[in-house]
Structure 1
Amino acid sequence: MVVYWQGLRYKSRYTSHNRKRIPIFLVSLVLNWSHCKQHNPHFFIWYWQQCGIDFRFQFLPCVLAYSTVSGVNGPLVILDNVKFPRYAEIVHLTLPDGTKRSGQVLEVIGTKAVVQVFEGTSGIDAKKTACEFTGDILRTPVSEDMLGRVFNGSGKPIDRGPNVLAEDYLDIMGQPINPQCRIYPEEMIQTGISAIDGMNSIARGQKIPIFSAAGLPHNEIAAQICRQAGLVQKSKDVMDYSAENFAIVFAAMGVNMETARFFKSDFEENGSMDNVCLFLNLANDPTIERIITPRLALTTAEYLAYQCEKHVLVILTDMSSYAEALREVSAAREEVPGRRGFPGYMYTDLATIYERAGRVEGRNGSITQIPILTMPNDDITHPIPDLTGYITEGQVYVDRQLHNRQIYPPINVLPSLSRLMKSAIGEGMTRKDHADVSNQLYACYAIGKDVQAMKAVVGEEALTSDDLLYLEFLQKFEKNFIAQGPYDNRTVYETLDIGWQLLRIFPKEMLKRIPQSTLAEFYPRESAARH
């Protein structure tokens, strides 16, 4: 029995004479002030105690409702005469037609509160809209049953399934991870893509974005990584997803329906939909909703990784849409803009998202982040990719020139980088020649690009024999190493063998970045069959 009286809650449990529990009948009785005047509530308490009811007292949170909306500015609602509003407090808005919306307090100035409405402010009547201050922060229900489900940008199911039976309610802002409890990422994730595995290896728990642009196949690359990602084993095998408790959390912000349908159908076709949780904020959904979508996804990923001990791959697309939503809120608040109109705190805000990747001591799970962002006008110096590059541990650069030449995946390895590659490769993890092969391939490809530019000026007749070797390497590298099919899953050992085949174009004397002992073991052609 639960009884409400004067803001107190009485929790009771019926018990029999032999003190064994019996089924509880849920009864709720509300005693208002008029009732209390006619009947002494202490009499009811004494009577129920005689029936064997145990009382426990808890104060209920006080919910205050206001109809003091003074203005609407973009995605913001301004309220006056609010008693003790708190920063980040959740507000429920009831529109004149009964529609419910949610918001969050962004700013408090005395008795004035600025509320950010997640579902947008269209249709809000300042005179007839009621606002309830809940006294709580934004929490999301999390459960392992969220895998295989599709949610909108606010975390509500849109797959015609039931609401999630929550195992816990977690703050979407997450909890800061003690740096001392972090585990340095040392296990390489095999993606099956040679340009990544061979030259920009990804470690489990790393955050590495895909820098792309409009019209480039970044979605196809991300889907291929989801299909093929696994852990490299010493036995030259890759762990199976089921044995590794692999899960994918996908968050889309401002994407069109075609992109959302592409990812969903791809997950279903390769049989991994049961291990995927999708959060979809489409282009026609409220812009302001994009601010909470990645945080909902990361909160779910943290629960799956640290409570359910799964290895979670988080894909966030498109972070450019998220940054533009941040700029819209900043402009509505009339804050001083930074570069290109983006708020000055965008670096800090992006860090609150990217820094939630990693591994934690005492937990077997991990969170690997692959955010996708489209660079406006292919400009890598734009504030969004510029600040992202400072926070993350490298980047995978999708190149338009390679795409125009029908090379898939069009990954340009020269501006690409993986800062944690050195700790995830080598003897005992991949192969002892991995780092040397990668360095030599980088050097030869960079020289080949310079020779190609020089050829356009002086002509092929003016090139030396060494220059012609670099040109041959350049063509075969892009054709045989970078280019591969969307369903071509290469192991890291196959990738290294392809690299050696390309390096054999040069005589041993020209391979200056590989030690002589490694050359003696791997350079002979017959060694390719042994490895």
Structure 2
Amino acid sequence: MKKEYLMLDRVQGPLIVLSNIKDVAYDEIVDITVDGKYKKKGKVVQIYKDKAVVQVFEPTLGISVDNASVHFRGESFKIPLSKDILGREFNGIGEPRDKAGEVYSSKKYDVNGRPMNPVARRYPRNYIQTGISSIDALVTLIRGQKLPIFSGNGMAHNELAAQIVRQAKISGEGEDKFCIVFGAMGIKHDDAHFFKKSFEEAGVLEKVVMFTNLADDPIVERIITPRCALTAAEYLAFEEGMHVLVILTDMTSYCEALRELSSLREEVPSRKGYPGYLYSDLASLYERAGMMNEKSGSITQIPILTMPNDDITHPVPDLTGFITEGQIVLSRGIQQRDIYPPVNILPSLSRLMKDGIGEGFTREDHAEVSNQIFAAYSRVQDIIALAQVIGEDELSDIDKNYMEFGRVFEAKFLKQEYDENRDMAETLDLGWEILSILPRGELDRISPEILNKYYKTVVK
């Protein structure tokens, strides 16, 4: 028998509290009717004896203790999905935002996901080409990987995300098997407009699914947004056999919403006021990426987060780094030198890169070119520090060679246009062209066979 509760104990921000409840489960979805006509959704976030705390997905303005009725559905939050979601835009809780009508499907899917059995996981192989040299050559994105972008407020992470969406493609299979799920949390209206316009102009909107939670939308909706996006990705990957790239921005907004709700629920705070379960909560999102043994599809994740005060030790980037397989770090200093994308390659890494590059995947020289560029650019930083003490004129000839390498590397390899799409071969050839600035004897990370094959072809 369905029960309806006609009295609330209290309304506190986005939370409502009820008492004398029976047979209610954690995460259960509720329908709230206000004044007999307005309907809002919520979910149970806390149960203690006969009391339940319900988190409302919409503003609680107008709800009082005696004008609202609450009906418990007896199920967790689910969204209808079909292949028709491609090219569509939804709000943070999976409702159409593009005025193109409801999604009709015989099945609804739980947004909390389907845990992937570790035994059923396939090891990520093969790469996704982004068309951005600094990522493709040095921090290669592998299909099935989770590789976050660490950025800062005011930096070019939105432009980079849009460029990846426009240019990303997989090797070895048709483009019809590749799609992108874009989840945005707490973004401004002009940023949302920028993303949509960018995808439309590039002609890729029909292979993108957008879930957008705007800055003036309820913060509770922000908690559901990445779960809706990942549920859509799981459906497309494991039921439709597609290779899905999931971009989530901005994870810091998500974590701040989590902190605010935790504070309202009067939970004991942990580091910097974030809840103690922040690590496991982030893991429940990031670990939904991967490939499965008996499924042809894959889910690759690029979460984007802005580091408060550019602090990489802040809890959000710190915990994200523990869970994910590397990171792409954007540098404010590099951006101030008018270099786009401002990728700082030295703290950036892709832990799965070694298994998806080389002969049979990209090109036989890829790993060695990458290692040599890292080693040379690292030495450039030491020489720049030395030049600040003794002056550039006092440097040795070989140190001046490295300084020239550093300048050309940043101007030609790191820097590229917002709409410039370089394929992998073009990127690796450019890497050889820049390495040729250094004498052959300095290229000690490259085997003689590879050196003989590629070094001579670029030196004029």
Instruction: State the TM-score bracket (shorter-chain normalisation).
Output: over 0.9
Q: Match for residue 414 of structure 1?
A: 346
Q: Residue type matched to 1:507 in 2?
A: P
Contact 1:521–1:527 (8 Å) recurs in 2 = no
Mapped to 2, the partners of 1:368 and 1:131 lie a distance apart of: 39
Q: Match for residue 186 of structure 2?
A: 254
* 1:42-82 deviation line (CA, Å, top 9, x unaligned): xxxxxxxxxxxxxxxxxxxx321002311122221110111
Q: Match for residue 241 of structure 1?
A: 175
Q: Say which of 311, 319, 331 aligns to 1:399.
A: 331
Q: Match for residue 269 of structure 2?
A: 337
Q: Residue type matched to 2:32 in 1?
A: L
Q: Does residue 160 in structure 1 map to residue 99 in structure 2?
A: yes
Aligned-pair CA distance for 1:241: 1.9
Mapped to 2, the partners of 1:497 and 1:273 lie a distance apart of: 31
Which sections of structure 2, spanning at least 5 residues, go unmatched?
A: none
Q: Match for residue 315 of structure 1?
A: 247
Q: Match for residue 297 of structure 2?
A: 365
Q: Residue type matched to 2:27 in 1?
A: A
Structure 1 segment 124-523 matched on structure 2, within 5 A: 124-233=63-172, 240-242=174-176, 245-523=177-455
Contact 1:84–1:111 (8 Å) recurs in 2 = no
Contact 2:436–2:458 (8 Å) recurs in 1 = no
RMSD: 1.3
Aligned-pair CA distance for 1:462: 2.4
Aligned-pair CA distance for 1:527: 8.3
Aligned-pair CA distance for 1:192: 0.8
Identity of aligned residues (%): 52
Aligned-pair CA distance for 1:120: 3.1
Which sections of structure 1, spanning at least 5 residues, go unmatched?
A: 1-61, 234-238
**Higher alpha-carbon Rg:** 1
Q: Find the residue that maps to 1:69 and give its secondary structure.
A: coil
Aligned pairs, number: 460
TM-score, normalising length from structure 1?
Answer: 0.85
Aligned-pair CA distance for 1:276: 1.4
Q: Match for residue 114 of structure 1?
A: 53
Aligned-pair CA distance for 1:227: 1.5
Aligned-pair CA distance for 1:415: 1.1
Aligned-pair CA distance for 1:510: 1.2
Mapped to 1, the partners of 2:388 and 2:442 lie a distance apart of: 24
Aligned-pair CA distance for 1:343: 0.4
Q: Match for residue 74 of structure 1?
A: 13
Contact 1:213–1:376 (8 Å) recurs in 2 = yes
* 1:407-447 deviation line (CA, Å, top 9, x unaligned): 11111111111111000101111111111110010010011
Contact 2:26–2:45 (8 Å) recurs in 1 = yes
Q: Match for residue 236 of structure 1?
A: none
Mapped to 1, the partners of 2:450 and 2:87 lie a distance apart of: 47
Mapped to 2, the partners of 1:398 and 1:526 lie a distance apart of: 30
Contact 1:93–1:132 (8 Å) recurs in 2 = yes
Whose RCO is larger (CA < 8 A, sep 6+)?
2
Contact 2:170–2:178 (8 Å) recurs in 1 = no
Mapped to 2, the partners of 1:399 and 1:126 lie a distance apart of: 50
Q: Find the residue that maps to 2:386 and give its secondary structure.
A: helix
Q: Say which of 24, 27, 42 aligns to 1:88.
A: 27
